Structure 1
Amino acid sequence: MSEIKIKLTEKILTIFLLLIAVGALTIHPAQEVSISTLGGDKLDTIFNIVSYLILFYFLLLYWKGFLYVATRSPLQFLLLAIIIFSLLWSEDLSSSLTYMRGLIRIYFLAIYLAMRYSLKEQLRLIAWALGTAALLSMLFSALLPDYSHKSPELLNMWSGIYGHKNELGYMMAWSAGVFLHLALSSHQYRWLMWALCGISICLIILSRSTTSLTILLTMILLLPFYKFFKKTNYKLQVVMITSALMLLIIFSILLVNNAETLVGTSGKDLTFNGRSDLWELVISKILERPWLGYGYSAFWTSNAASNLRATYEWASNAHNGFLELLLELGFLGFLTFAAGFIRFFVMAMTRIIYVAKKPEDYWPMQMLILIVIINFSEARLLTPSWNWLMYITTSFSLTLDYQRNYHQSYIESFYSSQK
């Protein structure tokens, strides 16, 4: 009986940590109404302190497991080491230290989740957090006017509990994706999964986040592709990957050649609301310090960014996750991330080919696609955020799954050779 109570307590603490990570406990009105959370900044501080204490408790309880996961994912921890050592050349040491604390907390939570829960169990725990966020966003935006935008350019666009329409849209893209895959995979509570998926899609529409709609449509269109891909032989898989890359290149060329027409239909200008002009200046800054960058989270608050801030007052980041990474850690950090990303991609594809039985098994690959699309127009890599938590957690989990399967197949082949 005591063991069951301990497991239940641990799951409750885990869900509490995920609720903090998903932003369901730090509720924001629309940003032009107030920049403070519901309950004030002190409540946010209390949640941060409690989350550190819970993670410290888990670290004491499972310290051997933490060490094991850390030694099995060298690329992810090499990237973390580069981030920590970037303090030595940081342009703004205070800013680097502030954000680094949150990032290290994300790594500890990711290790714990990968160590204690399988990918399927994680998906269900994540659903609790995202479902809560979706319901709260619907409730607050529908009943309280302060949770919809009032500024002329964003009038009546819903921001939910996140303070901005884009943040609501991104989080609901995660939510809709999770509940879609669970609804297609599970017979139990399927009606609830579809209901929460529907609520998440409604919130995306009400936020008017075109990027989030693009993410959702991409995930839906890829589902039958994965199923067909799994049934093909190795040679056909190579042909399919090559064909997909060629189609992507052709699509990109068509997009560039018809950009004026395409962006006009979505209400945006050809510069993606000024982002492409900003990117040109960001690239010139990257080339000034190409190898090590300006230090983790240290560029935009430093003197090096003064000209950019003067020209683009709305820019507090590069509005592109990959350019932001190059700004902070240079090509050293970017290539380390790229190596880890490719490894993640290979493991996710291997899972689809050899392991996947239900749509929920496609989720790691869908997550990669989601993260790439988001970071094309927003800087959400290497930040203490939900996106990076999901990326790191799934990377650790895939690594542990792969090594367990490899070890099992090695044992089976050893015993068969002894017969």
Structure 2
Amino acid sequence: MRRRSLHNGVIVETRVEARKRKEQSSQRWRRFEQVYVIITLLLFAQAFFPFFQAGQMDSVADGNALLQTIWKLIYVIAAVLIYIHRKHVMKIISRDKLTLVLLLMIVLSSLWSAAPEITMRRSIAFVGTNLFAIYLATRFSLRELFQLIAWALLAGAVFSLIVTILFPELGTMMHEGNLVWRGIFSHKNQLGRIMSLAAIVFFLLILMKQWPRWLTVGGFLLSVLMLAMSESKTAMIVLLITMGCIPFLTTLRWNPYARILFWLPASLFFIGLCLAIFPHMEALLRYFGRDMTLTGRTGLWDIVIEMIQVHPWLGYGYSGFWLGWEGESAYVWMVTTWEPPNSHNGFLDAALDVGLIGLCLILFSFVSRLYKAMRYHVSSHRWENLWPLLYLIYLVLCNLTETTLLDHNSFFWTLFITLGFSLPHKKRAEQRGRIRSRLRTTRRMEG
């Protein structure tokens, strides 16, 4: 009996040790994935580009050789991870069919592209970007992904501060005669966009009260500081508008009567404010360093719309238009008095790339995500449930004067695609809502 009990004890102890080793191995693997995600998100946000581009000349058509090698490594790791978790990938792949159709259209656009070789190469990069986004949706919940985004944005803010102080020749740039900050990013506007998003994320983390307060408040203040030092006025306006939406979005959880009592006076106040501001719009825009043409953007948009009408349905092929003097964009550069790298409007650039058909697919994808994000927000009183809705609003506002849609190796497009595969469908949201209501009823009865 003693021998048998001793033998059984050894077996149990061996199983416990094996389980511990398996858990430790799983935790190490999970940490590797988290580090991989944070680094990739930073690179997709164009972090450290001043270091990669130092001493190297980038071609509009060919790009940067060092960065291309890094992108290939990221795509290979994402493909391997997707293969490892292929069963889970197959379960979620059908959640966002519009993205898959758009992805197929972009790959096929090399058939009618104005620059087929460039379209083919960049469409492969676009596929790799989407693979990484699908991997994120497969491996991380919305809550986990939100925290990884927060860590990536915090790292971007901290590194930008350090680099700008220690290496000002890399962390700053000249813009309209002024020395402004760009941190570890490629341009001061990119620093502004990333920091405005970081301020939104850390404001939500402050409301969530789950991270240390010194970290969330510090992250928010640092993000606002870096945004101010970038002097990106568009990013400042986007931040203010997005933050201003938070009180209105929280009313979606209220009952209809309470919403009416809030929205009616708020709407009247907003209309009155617009009427008061409109006569002074030119002076207000001048204060923000803009004019009624939005620094030449409206004239540029008129010319771009003319070019869209030349190939309205399928466009010029993915990345087949803006190729400087070597591409169809030469006409735009010749007509305008400056050399814009894009339309400064994400929706117009999407129409140039994949035509009105592709633009409709993107708009339908936005509407689908907004609907899911709204249901996700209403399904719970947790502040983190507001994140998808705020991000979509932020993305729309950014693309009114800048371009981040359909961008390969893009932080913003990656998050957009991830939301499409991560946000719960209507049936799942309803099931969770019913389960929560039953749990509340049970607790009340027990109480």
Q: TM-score, normalised by structure 2?
A: 0.82
Structural RMSD (CA)? 3.1
**Alpha-carbon distance, 1:186 to partner:** 2.4
CA distance in 1, matches of 2:288, 2:171: 21
Larger displacement relative to structure 2 (87-96 or 296-305): 296-305
**Alpha-carbon distance, 1:149 to partner:** 3.8
**Alpha-carbon distance, 1:258 to partner:** 4.2
Residues 1:4 and 1:245: Cα distance change in structure 2 (over 3 Å):
farther
Aligned to 1:417: none
**Are 2:77 and 1:54 aligned?**
yes
Aligned to 2:293: 271
**Alpha-carbon distance, 1:304 to partner:** 2.9
Aligned to 2:187: 164
Aligned to 2:312: 290
1:157 alignment partner, SS class: strand
CA distance in 1, matches of 2:104, 2:369: 19
1:209 equivalent among 232, 238, 246: 232
Residues 1:31 and 1:104: Cα distance change in structure 2 (over 3 Å):
closer
Aligned to 2:3: none
Identity %: 29
Larger displacement relative to structure 2 (303-312 or 153-162): 303-312
Aligned length: 408
CA distance in 1, matches of 2:193, 2:365: 23
**Are 2:206 and 1:186 aligned?**
no
Aligned to 1:304: 328
CA distance in 2, matches of 1:331, 1:243: 38
Residues 1:279 and 1:117: Cα distance change in structure 2 (over 3 Å):
same
Aligned to 2:50: 29
**Are 2:386 and 1:362 aligned?**
yes
Residues 1:231 and 1:154: Cα distance change in structure 2 (over 3 Å):
farther
Aligned to 2:343: 318
**Are 2:367 and 1:347 aligned?**
no
CA distance in 2, matches of 1:250, 1:298: 45
Larger displacement relative to structure 2 (341-350 or 198-207): 341-350
Residues 1:256 and 1:330: Cα distance change in structure 2 (over 3 Å):
farther
**Alpha-carbon distance, 1:36 to partner:** 6.7
1:106 equivalent among 126, 129, 140: 129
Larger displacement relative to structure 2 (340-349 or 151-160): 151-160
CA distance in 2, matches of 1:41, 1:294: 23
CA distance in 2, matches of 1:412, 1:152: 53
**Are 2:358 and 1:336 aligned?**
no
1:156 alignment partner, SS class: strand
Which digits, 9 at most, give the CA deviation of each residue in 1:162-217, with x for residues without a partner?
13110100011121111111121023312211111111110000001111111222
Larger displacement relative to structure 2 (332-341 or 180-189): 180-189
Which digits, 9 at most, give the CA deviation of each residue in 1:53-110, with x for residues without a partner?
3212212211122222221211121111221221211111122123212221221111
Aligned to 1:18: 38
Residues 1:337 and 1:42: Cα distance change in structure 2 (over 3 Å):
closer
CA distance in 1, matches of 2:228, 2:121: 35
Q: What letter is aligned with 1:269?
A: D
Aligned to 1:416: none
**Alpha-carbon distance, 1:143 to partner:** 2.0
5+ long unaligned stretches in structure 2: 1-20, 438-447
CA distance in 2, matches of 1:156, 1:412: 54
CA distance in 1, matches of 2:115, 2:237: 36
CA distance in 1, matches of 2:100, 2:270: 32
Q: What letter is aligned with 2:315?
A: G
Residues 1:241 and 1:90: Cα distance change in structure 2 (over 3 Å):
farther
Which digits, 9 at most, give the CA deviation of each residue in 1:220-279, with x for residues without a partner?
22222222331223x765897899889878877877654322211112222112111110
Residues 1:41 and 1:331: Cα distance change in structure 2 (over 3 Å):
closer
Which digits, 9 at most, give the CA deviation of each residue in 1:377-412, with x for residues without a partner?
1111010211101111112111x4645334567999
**Alpha-carbon distance, 1:138 to partner:** 0.6
1:73 equivalent among 73, 96, 114: 96
Larger displacement relative to structure 2 (387-396 or 240-249): 240-249
CA distance in 2, matches of 1:94, 1:309: 22
Matching of residues 188-267 of structure 1 within 5 Å? 188-233=211-256, 258-267=280-289
Q: What letter is aligned with 1:47?
A: I
Residues 1:68 and 1:237: Cα distance change in structure 2 (over 3 Å):
farther
Asked whether the equivalents of residues 15 and 125 of structure 1 are also in contact (C-alpha less than 8 Å), the reply is: no
Asked whether the equivalents of residues 15 and 128 of structure 1 are also in contact (C-alpha less than 8 Å), the reply is: no
CA distance in 2, matches of 1:173, 1:35: 30
Aligned to 2:106: 83
Larger displacement relative to structure 2 (95-104 or 285-294): 95-104
5+ long unaligned stretches in structure 1: 414-419
Which digits, 9 at most, give the CA deviation of each residue in 1:16-49, with x for residues without a partner?
2332232378513399986679xx9665344323
**Alpha-carbon distance, 1:119 to partner:** 0.8
**Alpha-carbon distance, 1:122 to partner:** 0.6
